[in-house]
């Protein structure tokens, strides 16, 4: 389990194709602290560390993950948001994040507010049982954020300077694809209200 509080970013230093899978080599200050088999959140996607060496580590994304996330679009040199699993005795600073992306969305607008940034996103409301609740939580590329201006196929978030500088939000521009994990509590409530299919 994660909290959506990004610890640091990493840089994609290598990408290898293995059948339908992609193995990513990530350079990060976290690398020396990681262990093989450890789970790390990458842009909101929980992946298992498969090797660690010299300031970098590798993870593999299978075909299903590549189809449902933006990881297949990553290029060498791009930044990814990183978060290790929450320790059992840790603080819950964000919200419950599973690292299981529900779908991708698209950034439709970025507005500099001279002290913060407004980001607008669109998504397909027909996919799964996703729901955005006004002032509720959402995870975008692994970052726990608060939704506002929620409507059936989109929403807006505000990014403070610290988050802008310490995540890959500074790289996002209109037309970019992001990973979305909707609030798990909201998804369960919706399931209870509309019934399981």
On the question of pLDDT at 163 being above 70, the answer is yes
On the question of pLDDT at 196 being above 70, the answer is no
Per-residue pLDDT band for 54 (boundaries 50, 70, 90) equals confident
- Model confidence pLDDT, tens digit, residues 94-113: 888 889 999 999 999 999 99
**Who wins on pLDDT, 193 or 104?**
104
pLDDT at residue 128, as a whole number? 64
Q: In what side-by-side order are the strands of the sheet with 177-182?
A: 143-146, 137-140, 177-182, 103-112, 117-122, 154-159, 148-151
pLDDT at residue 16, as a whole number? 98
| Residues contacting residue 143 through CB under 8 Å, at least 6 positions apart | 4, 6, 44, 81, 163, 167, 169
Please state which CATH class domain 103-194 belongs to.
mainly beta
| Residues contacting residue 191 through CB under 8 Å, at least 6 positions apart | 129
On the question of pLDDT at 197 being above 60, the answer is no
On the question of pLDDT at 195 being above 80, the answer is no
Q: Is the dihedral of CA 82, 129, 148, 86 positive or negative?
A: negative
Residue spans per domain, the chain: 8-84, 103-194
pLDDT at residue 129, as a whole number? 62
User: Do 8-84 and 103-194 have matching folds?
Assistant: yes
**Number of H-type helices and E-type strands within the chain:** 3, 13
Length of the chain: 197
From 2.40.30.20, 3.30.1180.20, 3.30.70.20, 3.40.50.10860, which CATH number describes the 8-84 domain? Answer: 2.40.30.20
Strand 137-140 relative to strand 143-146, pairing: antiparallel
Per-residue pLDDT band for 84 (boundaries 50, 70, 90) equals very high
On the question of pLDDT at 188 being above 80, the answer is no
Please report, rounded to a whole number, the percentage of residues in the chain having pLDDT higher than 90.
Answer: 76
């Amino acid at each position: 389990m994660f909290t959506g509080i990004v610890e640091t970013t990493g840089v994609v230093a290598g990408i290898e194709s293995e059948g339908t899978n992609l193995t990513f080599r990530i350079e990060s200050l976290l690398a020396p602290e990681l262990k093989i088999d450890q789970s790390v959140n990458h842009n909101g996607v929980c992946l298992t560390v498969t090797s660690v060496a010299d300031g970098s580590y590798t993870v593999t994304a299978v075909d299903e993950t590549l189809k449902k996330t933006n990881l297949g679009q990553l290029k060498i040199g791009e930044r990814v948001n990183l978060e290790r699993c929450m320790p059992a005795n840790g603080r819950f600073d964000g919200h419950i994040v599973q690292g299981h992306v529900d779908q991708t969305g698209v950034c439709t607008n970025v507005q500099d507010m001279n002290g913060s940034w407004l980001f607008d996103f669109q998504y397909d409301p027909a996919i799964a049982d996703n729901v955005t609740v006004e002032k509720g939580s959402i995870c975008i590329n692994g970052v726990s954020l608060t939704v506002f201006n929620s409507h059936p196929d989109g929403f807006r978030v505000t990014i403070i300077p610290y988050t802008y500088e310490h995540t890959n939000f500074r790289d996002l521009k209109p037309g970019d694809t992001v990973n979305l994990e909707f609030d798990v509590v909201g998804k369960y409530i919706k399931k209870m209200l509309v019934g399981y299919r």
